[in-house]
Amino acid sequence: MMKIQKINAREILDSRGNPTVEVEILAEENKIFGKGRAIKAWSAVPSGASTGDFEAVELRDGNKKRFQGKGVLTAIKNIKEEIAPVLEGMSVLEQKEIDQKMIELDGTENKAHLGANAILGVSMAVARLGAMAHNQKLFEYLTELAGVDISKLSITRPFFNIINGGKHAGNQIAFQEFMISPNLGTFAENYRAGSEIYHTLQKILKSKFGGVATLLGDEGGFAPNDFQRENEALDILVQAIAEAGYEKRVDIALDVAASEFYQDGKYNLGFKMTEDNFKTTAEMIEIYKNLIKEYPIISIEDPFDQTEFEAFAQLRAELAEDKIEVVGDDLTVSNPSRIKTAIEKKSCNALLLKLNQIGTVTEAIEAHQLAKKAGWQTMVSHRSGETTDDFIADFAVGIGAGQIKSGATARGERVCKYNRLLAIEEMIR
């Protein structure tokens, strides 16, 4: 039995250059003959820019003299001084028990005491050690934790964010993500198509607007300042898909992140412009319906504010015949209690699942299982502030999630997840 021997943590930087938590756990495997063998696993915790009010707390130091107050030394201290003494000596195979102990040790509803960034770092590293203890790949071990039939595993469908707006970019577009999702049969084919469309888009943008238009947003997508309306971004996406040779074989998805421009009961599409452009819920619904008629859109994430369960439900009902995914992110924040509310109110038919929104591997699996039982899709997601930890690739496959988004087909912290999926596909094909 492999037991936790030592837990260490350090402050590293994420893809935006902000501090985040990295965890290392040393475990000792007891052998019948000879000495125990020391085994080590690690994890690195991502961070979001567009965050929901109901997410688990990402603990920051608040000391303006270090990293503008964004340091995570308090979270690291909590790992070393509060979490480690409780978990050391426990079996790495006790994932649920370990996660529950950390939840109880924290003692708050939103992990405000220890910090979700502290708890999640430990939880992910423990899962990696559990896989090692079973001599399994991480995705294989996660199937056991999630109760998934390993013989029925399939690779997840990717959603590549190749135009950035909203809080992820300095342009004037209100919507946060414009994604493409090739549907060509294998992940390798989808990945290739995503890359070819990405580079075609780059050439089109440079030709139309100059080199400055090919500057990248937080998630690796292009963020041209020339776009002022969502239709402009969608038109050029459709052009890039066609010129790359994938017309009618690639779908489009939107992450609106509407909570970011929800003001006094209305939606300000001009929140990054010099003049406001307020829309009511009814007007937003008409905008979405018209976009779906004009473009090959299959998924709309966070179309309304994070408190507007009824507006989500209204849009879902309006789009039922079009079979559009209405995805909850800020609305549900990967939290089982809020997912239950969304199920009761029929607000969504798809869940965006972010590990750091809830804070443990066990709770994230529970969130997916709730969504699946309700007939929803699950899209596992990265964060805009990422690391080179590829945990979510194995996680998406292992729990049986049908979809994943990890940004564009560029930047190391994005493609490491996709590259891992290539390897997993070879193993399960």
Scanning 326-411, the segments in alpha helix (DSSP H) are 336-344, 355-358, 361-373, 391-399
What is the per-residue pLDDT for 94?
97
Mean pLDDT confidence for 190-219: 94
Burial call 84-94: b when 16+ CB within 10 Å, e when fewer: beebeeebbbb
Strand partners, 266: 263
Report the topology of domain 150-428: TIM Barrel (3.20.20)
Mean pLDDT confidence for 144-155: 94
Active site residue 206: no
CB 183 within 8 A of CB 157: yes
pLDDT in tens, 354-376: 999 999 999 999 999 999 999 99
pLDDT in tens, 4-51: 999 999 999 999 999 999 999 999 876 655 566 789 999 999 997 656
Helix (H, G, I), strand (E, B) or coil at 1: coil
* 40 exposure class (CB count in 10 Å sphere: 0-12, 13-18, 19+): middle
- pLDDT higher than threshold 90 for residue 205: yes
Kindly indicate the confidence band of residue 346, based on its pLDDT and cuts at 50, 70 and 90: very high
- Counting residues of the chain whose pLDDT is more than 70, the rounded percentage is 97
Kindly indicate the confidence band of residue 53, based on its pLDDT and cuts at 50, 70 and 90: confident
Q: pTM of the full predicted structure?
A: 0.95
What is the per-residue pLDDT for 350?
97
The mean pLDDT value of the chain amounts to 94
What is the per-residue pLDDT for 165?
85
Q: Identify the residue with better confidence: 299 or 170.
A: 299
Could you tell me the CATH superfamily of domain 2-135? Enolase-like, N-terminal domain (3.30.390.10)
What is the per-residue pLDDT for 227?
83
Distance separating alpha carbons of residues 426 and 429, to the nearest angstrom: 5
Identify the H or E element spanning 41. Answer: strand 37-44
Kindly indicate the confidence band of residue 217, based on its pLDDT and cuts at 50, 70 and 90: confident
In angstroms, what CA-CA distances link 377 with 50, 157, 277, 324, 339? Answer: 22, 11, 33, 11, 13
- Indicate which residue of 22, 58, 177, 219 is catalytic: 219
Q: Which two tokens stand for residue 227?
A: 């776009």
CA angle 426, 427, 429 (to 5 degrees): 65
- pLDDT higher than threshold 90 for residue 169: no
Parse the chain into domains and list their residue ranges. 2-135, 150-428
- Indicate which residue of 111, 137, 354, 405 is catalytic: 354
What is the per-residue pLDDT for 31?
61
Work out the number of other CB atoms within 10 angstroms of the CB of residue 82: 16
CA angle 288, 313, 169 (to 5 degrees): 45
Active site residue 80: no
pLDDT in tens, 179-202: 999 999 899 999 999 999 999 999
- pLDDT higher than threshold 70 for residue 317: yes
Helix (H, G, I), strand (E, B) or coil at 88: coil
- pLDDT higher than threshold 90 for residue 321: no
Mean pLDDT confidence for 71-89: 98
Does 2-135 match 150-428 in CATH topology?
no
